[in-house]
Amino acid sequence: MASTISTTIALIVATLLVRARAQPVAPGPTPAPLNLTAVLEKGGQYTTLIRLLRTTQVEQQVNSQLNNSFNGLTVFAPTDNAFNSLKAGTLNGLSQQEQVALVLFHVLPRFYSLSSFETTSNPVQTQASSNNGVYTVNITSTTSQVNISTGVVSTPVTNTLRSDFPLAVYSIDKVLLPYDLFGAKPPATAPAPAPAKEKPGKSDKTPTAPKADGPSAESESSPSAAVGLKGRGVLVWSFVAGAGVMGIIGSLL
Ligand SMILES: *[C@@H]1O[C@H](CO)[C@@H](O)[C@H](O)[C@H]1NC(C)=O
Ligand SMILES: *[C@@H]1O[C@H](CO)[C@@H](O)[C@H](O)[C@H]1NC(C)=O
Ligand SMILES: *[C@@H]1O[C@H](CO)[C@@H](O)[C@H](O)[C@H]1NC(C)=O
Ligand SMILES: *[C@@H]1O[C@H](CO)[C@@H](O)[C@H](O)[C@H]1NC(C)=O
């Protein structure tokens, strides 16, 4: 009898001791598994990305990789504004498979701190890259800025949402459009004919107008310059060509 009571008391005391000791050691409830969506929700302006992560099922893939990967992951998170400023129909114009590729393109298969980008060599593999070198990005970095370039868009990292191994999440103000989805088509349709059209247009107009002004202006500024008529012509032409190139650059910008 006495022994059972003392055993019971001993058990209770032991339990209390264990609890008392366990409390300071365990920092809280069991730590929740790392969850990209939760990080993005906290950021407050990534609802489009969260929706895309869901519909493409990349969300599960990323979260299970976070749990298993030795290398960690880095996610570039375009804001809702970034998605809103895409041309209408950009996302809907992609097949389901291409949308998956677009989302995976924003995920790098290892953890990068911001400073580690300074020693990264280009091109950098993304989760959309296969081993034939497609869907890569170039990252250039100084101590104050990190730029990501896809060959179609170029954008700096604007904010760090999280940078603790194994997950880094960096905010960006543009959607990273992969060259492999958006780079090949536009040169064939829009931008290529544009400069070709502009060049003849400019050179057709310019010879008449600047030629009249050009020589007189030049003879005022350098009356004794040993530049023959032909030399002046070359100068005018290089001026015209320069203006044309600047015009083209201006129109590209
Ligand atoms: C991740 O977080 C989101 C939002 O907080 C939640 O809906 C989802 O169930 C979480 N997923 C896991 C695997 O915990
Ligand atoms: C994380 O990985 C462990 C073992 O690798 C597995 O038992 C566990 O279910 C995984 N948890 C999640 C949330 O995926
Ligand atoms: C990033 O890009 C901006 C303009 O787009 C440029 O001025 C800056 O030098 C670039 N920085 C790096 C580190 O490449
Ligand atoms: C990316 O970097 C590689 C290596 O420096 C270079 O060859 C390539 O042209 C770059 N691509 C873009 C889109 O900047």
d(CA 146, CA 202): 38
Tokens 């749990």 -> residue: 67
C-alpha of residue 34 to centroid of ligand 2, in Å: 11
Which residue has the least CA distance to atom 10 on ligand 1? 35
Is the CB of residue 238 below 6 angstroms from any atom belonging to ligand 2?
A: no
In this structure, the answer to whether residues 219 and 148 fall within a common structural domain is no
Mean pLDDT of 151-158: 97
User: Which of 166, 182, 198 finishes a domain?
Assistant: 182
d(CA 150, CA 183): 9
**C-alpha to C-alpha distances, 158 to 144, 174, 175, nearest whole angstrom:** 11, 10, 13
Mean pLDDT of 95-107: 96
| pLDDT band (50, 70, 90) for residue 200 | very low
Who lines ligand 1 at CB under 6 A? Answer: 33, 35, 37-38, 41, 63
Task: Look up the pTM and report it.
Answer: 0.67
Task: Please give the share of the chain, as a percent, with pLDDT higher than 90.
Answer: 53
What number of other Cβ atoms are within 10 A of residue 117's Cβ? 20
Q: Which residue has the higher pLDDT, 132 or 205?
A: 132
- Which residue type does 231 have? G
Residue 160 has pLDDT above 60, yes or no: yes
Residue 5 lies inside a defined structural domain of this protein:
no
pLDDT tens, residue by residue, 8-56:
545 444 444 445 555 545 555 667 778 999 999 999 999 999 999 999 9
Mutate to test the pocket of ligand 4, among 105, 121, 122 (most ligand atoms within 8 A of CB): 122
Who lines ligand 3 at CB under 6 A? Answer: 140-142, 145, 147, 154, 156
In this structure, the answer to whether residues 116 and 41 fall within a common structural domain is yes
Residue 198 has pLDDT above 80, yes or no: no
In this structure, the answer to whether residues 127 and 234 fall within a common structural domain is no
Mutate to test the pocket of ligand 2, among 34, 62, 67 (most ligand atoms within 8 A of CB): 67
- Which residue type does 166 have? P
Structural domain boundaries, residue 60: 36-182
SS (H, E, C) 166-227: CEEEEEECCCCCCHHHHHCHHHHHCCCHHHHHHHHHHHHHCCHHHHHHHHHHHHHHCCCCCC
In this structure, the answer to whether residues 153 and 57 fall within a common structural domain is yes
Residue 19 lies inside a defined structural domain of this protein:
no
Mutate to test the pocket of ligand 3, among 139, 147, 149 (most ligand atoms within 8 A of CB): 147
CA-closest candidate to residue 121, choices 129, 112, 132, 134: 112
Q: Please report the pLDDT score of residue 129 as a whole number.
A: 93
In this structure, the answer to whether residues 222 and 126 fall within a common structural domain is no
What number of other Cβ atoms are within 10 A of residue 178's Cβ? 25
